[in-house]
Chain A
């Protein structure tokens, strides 16, 4: 399962779900689905999110149980 810290990074940048959604051209609900882990984004969207939140994509998304990357 894909884990993420989108919510944490978004809060760090003081962005609402709508703000982030606008930056990466998706709806607020899609950001909420990703944060809740209900939906794994495409590579394109993952890269857009990483760029918007100014982090490496590996810091934003990782596989559950991946001990090296799980923080």
Chain B
């Protein structure tokens, strides 16, 4: 979710650059505040990526039989340690799929009907991504409530 928020800040910063064609190519000029947003979000993104990488390494050390790959196509949040975990992951993924099955057509319809600025469309897509993680997280969390007996 932090990555999505940073992408939103990055999109805000890069939304209205001044592009100039030169003899050798082109140059992109950003205002001071926009530059701060763009480079700040890139820097924060790299810091978060480094923290995530360290956490994944720690997890892999503690769970050598269930390693998470940073480069895997499958999302690392899938819980598939055993059949119970696979079951709740399937439940959560079904809910996310249901969400997308109406949210994507609804967004596409809105974008077709209304002439929305590019930034609004990007934010709407990031909003869907945020919704996806929120649904997945709350569903998984619901099953993990309760202390050990």
Contact = CB atoms under 8 A, between A and B. Distances in A.
Given A33-B88, A33-B143, A39-B87, A16 B82 contact: no
Q: Is the interface of B mostly helix, strand, loop or mixed?
A: helix
A17 B148 CA distance: 7
Interface residue tally on A, bucketed by range: 20 to 34
Interface of B: 81-85, 87-88, 143-144, 146, 148-149
Given A16-B149, A32-B149, A27 B85 contact: yes
A26 B83 contact: yes
Nearest to A24: B82
Q: Is the interface of A mostly helix, strand, loop or mixed?
A: helix
Tell me which of B82, B143, B146 has the highest count of chain A C-beta atoms within 10 A of its own C-beta: B82
Task: Return the 10 tightest CB-CB contacts between A and B, nearest first.
Answer: A30-B84, A26-B82, A33-B84, A39-B87, A30-B82, A17-B148, A39-B84, A27-B81, A27-B82, A42-B83
